[in-house]
Amino acid sequence: MENNNKAEQKKRILSGIQPSGALTLGNYVGALRNWVQLQKEDIYESYYMIADLHAITVRQEPAALRKNCMDLLAIFLACGLDGEKEPIFFQSHVPAHTQLGWVLDCNTYMGELSRMTQFKDKSRKHADNINAGLFTYPSLMAADILLYQADLVPVGKDQKQHLELTRDLANRFNNAYSETFKVPEPYIPKVGAKIMSLQEPTQKMSKSDPNENSYILLLDPIDKAVKKIKRAVTDSGSEVCMGEGKEGIENLMSIYSAMTGKTMDEITVEFQGKGYGDFKSAVAESVTETLKPIQERYADLMKNKDYLESIYKRGAEQANYTARKTISKVYRKVGFIQP
């Protein structure tokens, strides 16, 4: 009983990732690892979602989508999210997302959606498939968040514009139909070292980069990850420090810092008088130490499909319970007759 009361007072977090293929070390440091930390702090109640409905805004091969979804669930757990304690679920398992998505579509202006930079980017990238779902994606994302009355939404910078729209939609609905939604805040983590490309360190590390050596995947075989670090671009100098023209070294320092918790200053001191070779070996070792246990847990989980199923089923049940409360309120307020 006491626990229930406590849960009601806790602020609520919701976030999601699209199952659109392998995650990079950058995704881990920028998102997943923070989620795990937030869950451990135990001051929030959190809902984590695999955004499969969002994924089909670009063409997906069904078998690959199915695999990516399961993979992502196993990765969430392997990274340390606790699906027994709090819901981890597939978006498509909670019908209220599309239900609220529609209501919000009818309260979102074409002009607002046309201004979304992600829409503009993706239309450029997928010029042969600029579908209506890609256009209305932000109101579905708003539904994801508002359904759970989330207080905080941990997202990367690229999602801030969608979150602003979510806030506008929440306020608009509340003003038109009376107080219904909590207006969520974005939660951009304090320490979120941005991990850059290993080949072009002025650009973000991204798995859509055609050069495989530019990114490390969470599930890269260890020897492959080590090779990518050894091949990372540096500069013609020899000092491990930050500065003009040292973006490559600085990025490796950020990675090392993210893996070990050491500050940039501490790292500079640690490698004074040592060469890039030694430094890269240390970076490779720190990455290995992070990836290895995750990969081992992932491999174990993938052998245990029943367990994965139990997690997503329970997640869907909890998520549906919360989401249904919001959608029935919304349906009532817009004037639909109760079934």
Contact flag: residue 155 with ligand TRP (CB under 6 A): yes
- Catalytic residue list contains 122: yes
Q: How far apart are CA 225 and CA 241, in angstroms?
A: 23
Residue of 11, 182, 194, 207 marked catalytic: 207
CA end-to-end span of the chain: 32
Q: Phi-psi region for residue 336, left (φ > 0), alpha (ψ -120 to 50) or beta?
A: beta
Residue 54 or residue 280: which is nearer to ligand TRP going by CB?
54
- Catalytic residue list contains 207: yes
Residue 79 or residue 259: which is nearer to ligand TRP going by CB?
79
Whether the CB-CB separation of 315 and 83 falls below 8 Å is answered with yes
Classified as helix, coil or strand, 150 is: coil
Q: What DSSP letter does each residue of 283-319 carry, written as one string?
A: HHHHHHHHHHHHHHHHHHHHT-HHHHHHHHHHHHHHH
Using the rule CB under 6 A, give the single segment among 12-20, 106-114, 220-228, 287-295 that binds ligand TRP.
12-20
Please choose, from the candidates 75, 51, 50, the residue with its C-alpha nearest in 3D space to the C-alpha of residue 220.
75
Binding-site residue total for ligand TRP (CB under 6 A)? Answer: 13
Contact flag: residue 141 with ligand TRP (CB under 6 A): yes
Q: Which of 145, 147, 198, 216 binds ligand TRP (CB under 6 A)?
A: 145
The angle that helices 276-302 and 305-334 make with each other, rounded to 10 degrees, is 80
Q: Phi-psi region for residue 322, left (φ > 0), alpha (ψ -120 to 50) or beta?
A: alpha
Residue 51 or residue 327: which is nearer to ligand TRP going by CB?
51
Contact flag: residue 322 with ligand TRP (CB under 6 A): no
Residue 147 or residue 330: which is nearer to ligand TRP going by CB?
147
Residue 18 or residue 326: which is nearer to ligand TRP going by CB?
18
Q: Which residues, other chains included, contact 273 with Cβ-Cβ below 8 Å and sequence gap of 6+?
A: none
Q: Which of 27, 46, 159, 254 binds ligand TRP (CB under 6 A)?
A: 159
Residue environment code for 220-242, b if the CB has 16+ CB neighbours within 10 A, otherwise e: beeeebbebbeebbbbeeebbbe
Which residues, 185 to 204, sit near ligand TRP by CB under 6 A? none
Residue 53 or residue 267: which is nearer to ligand TRP going by CB?
53
Contact flag: residue 144 with ligand TRP (CB under 6 A): yes
Q: Which of 32, 75, 153, 165 binds ligand TRP (CB under 6 A)?
A: 153
- Catalytic residue list contains 182: no
Question: Closest approach of Cβ 155 to ligand TRP, in Å?
Answer: 5
Contact flag: residue 54 with ligand TRP (CB under 6 A): yes
* Residues classed as catalytic: 122, 204, 207
Residues that bind ligand TRP in the complex, under the rule CB under 6 A: 14-18, 51, 54, 141, 144-145, 153, 155, 159
